[in-house]
Amino acid sequence: MSKNTLLIKGGTIVTADLTQKADILVQDGIIKEIGKNLENPGKAEVVDASGQYVMPGGIDPHTHMELPFMGTVASEDFFSGTTAGAAGGTTMIIDFVIPSPKTSIISAYHQWREWAKKSATDYSFHVAITWWSDEVHRDMAELVQKHGVNSFKHFMAYKGAIMCDDEVLVNSFTRARELGAIATVHAENGELVAHLQKQIYDMGITGPEGHPMSRPPGVEGEAAERAIRIADVLNVPLYIVHNSAIQSLNAIQRARADGQRVFGEVLAGHLLINDSVYKSPDFEYAAAHVMSPPFRGEEHQKALWKGLQSGTLHTTATDHCCFCAPQKAAGRDDFRKIPNGTGGIEDRMGVLWHHGVNSGKLTMNEFVAVTSTNAAKIFNIYPRKGAITVGADADIIVWDAKKTRTISAKTHHQKVDFNIFEGMEVRGANTVTISQGKIVYKDGDVRTVKGVGRYIDRPAFTSHHDALKIKREVEKPVGVKRTGKKKVA
Ligand code: URQ
Ligand code: ZN
Ligand code: ZN
């Protein structure tokens, strides 16, 4: 029997589509057997899951570990960030390679691969297209065919930095379709943001309260609709990240009802934090919440939960992009200079279980779908990831639905001096986190090892694009047959 054998006994397995009382035998990082009352095949380490749930480890499809951004570098690195994720029940991240415009996307990819080598759990990368040229056109093929990249990100915001105009969107979306990749977007109209930021600053509003004022929901709605329309014309599947507003939700709902292949992501923060945070007189507190799109009013939060319940939104993420108070202070006199980003990777699973499952909004199976399985399916790594089935990677969490905890920066593992969920009491937490068949967290004891995380290849799609091909054939315009004969009146 291999030394790396684990037997998870007595638990109730909960996946996106099945709840069953059964044991799991794990060997060499893979799920080997699932069944009732499995015997210990030798001296396997036994994980007692009795009275608890056993679920696929969380997949966070949107993080930015040690991201160089707005003149500084995000404080969370790939080791500390994946460790914090493991402590909270997340066993894989999909992070972002964000090349500076006019630089090689291949060199940027290799740079991020270097940074990510310190990861403690598995990871993959979306690659952002921030400019266009024949070189980018060529290099996108190398990334898909040689480096397991099947998703390309487009920031429609951040004018003067990484913002894509329509020319880049159209070229890159077209190329993504050719390569069997999915296009993803940060949907905010960067021109409108820049215009409003200047208008608000010139009115003398320089504090963090200016941030949400410069990014009203319509700024997001316009960009979401535009990206959806471009993707429809170009026949490419689209994934909209961090939907925060009713307007982008409506855009996705309309497109999906029309049969368009559009997927939506929502952040745990946007579901639970509202825009009152920006009204605080305490600069540090308000600035700590500056991220884009901004946290919004309760009506948007209610709509986002309904979007998750109704299948308009498919995945939950955190956009974990941390900056500490001294970094945020860069914008003390000008909110436009506050580095955008907040954390959450350690708390996503707990806050979504508490506010989603305990509240009755989501079943346990739906919880697994939106925290793990859907992301695995959309980004084409299912059932290796996001599943509990024989042959899948043994990324597994044991979940105690009765365990309560109070979230705080004083106790979290995240390398940031603030927690947007500070003081929130949640019921439901992982007691054990297993990554690649090894226990990386148990009852408060973090056991992650720097550098054992693996880069996960994500193959080009066939399913999404095949469906799109059928769609295009069905819709091919029916040409009028020119017979040359004049119609007899
Ligand atoms: O826009 C993003 O997703 C990155 C730059 C993180 N920052 C943020 O405010 N969301
Ligand atoms: Zn973004
Ligand atoms: Zn992001």
What are the residue boundaries of the structural domains of the chain, listed by start?
56-384+458-475
Helical H runs in 43-87? 78-87
Rounded CA gap, 45 and 263, in Å?
40
Report whether pLDDT(489) > 90.
no
177 CB near ligand 1 (under 6 Å):
no
pLDDT of residue 470: 43
In sign, the C-alpha dihedral spanning 362, 365, 370, 374 is: negative
pLDDT digits (tens, 9 = 90+) for 335-362: 999 999 999 999 999 999 999 999 999 9
**Closest residue by Cα to residue 407 from 426, 393, 433, 391:** 426
Q: Which ligand is located closest to the Cα atom of residue 185?
A: 2
- Judged by its nearest atom, the ligand closest to the C-alpha of residue 243 is 2
Measured CA to CA, the distance from residue 96 to residue 213 in angstroms comes to 27
Q: How many residues does the chain have?
A: 489
Query: Among candidates 117, 162, 74, which has minimal Cα distance to 344?
Result: 74
What's the CA gap between 168 and 363, in Å, rounded? 40
Give the pLDDT score at 474: 46
Q: Is 191 strand, coil or helix?
A: helix
| % of the chain residues with pLDDT over 90 | 93
Nearest CA residue ID for atom 6, ligand 1 = 341
pLDDT at 461: 86
> Which whole number is the average pLDDT over 193-222?
98
> Does ligand 1 lie within 6 Å of residue 341's CB atom?
yes
Rg, the chain, Cα only = 23
Which of 60, 63, 64, 289 to mutate for ligand 1's pocket (most ligand atoms within 8 Å of CB)? 64
Q: From the alpha carbon of 340, which atom of ligand 1 is closest? A: 9
Is 228 strand, coil or helix? helix
Query: For the chain, what is the mean pLDDT?
Result: 95
* Pocket flag, ligand 1, residue 392 (CB < 6 Å): no
- Homologous superfamily, domain 56-384+458-475: Metal-dependent hydrolases (3.20.20.140)
Q: Is 340's C-beta closer than 6 angstroms to any atom of ligand 1?
A: yes
- How far, in whole angstroms, is CA 377 from its chain's centroid? 13
**Is 321's C-beta closer than 6 angstroms to any atom of ligand 1?**
yes
* Beta strands in 187-255, from DSSP E residues, in sequence order: 238-240
Q: Is 153 in the pocket of ligand 1 (CB under 6 A)?
A: no
Ligand 1 pocket, residue 96 CB under 6 Å: no
What is the greatest pairwise CA distance in the chain? 92
Per residue in 266-313, pLDDT (tens digit) is 999 999 999 999 999 999 999 999 999 999 999 999 999 999 999 999
Percent with pLDDT over 70 in the chain: 94
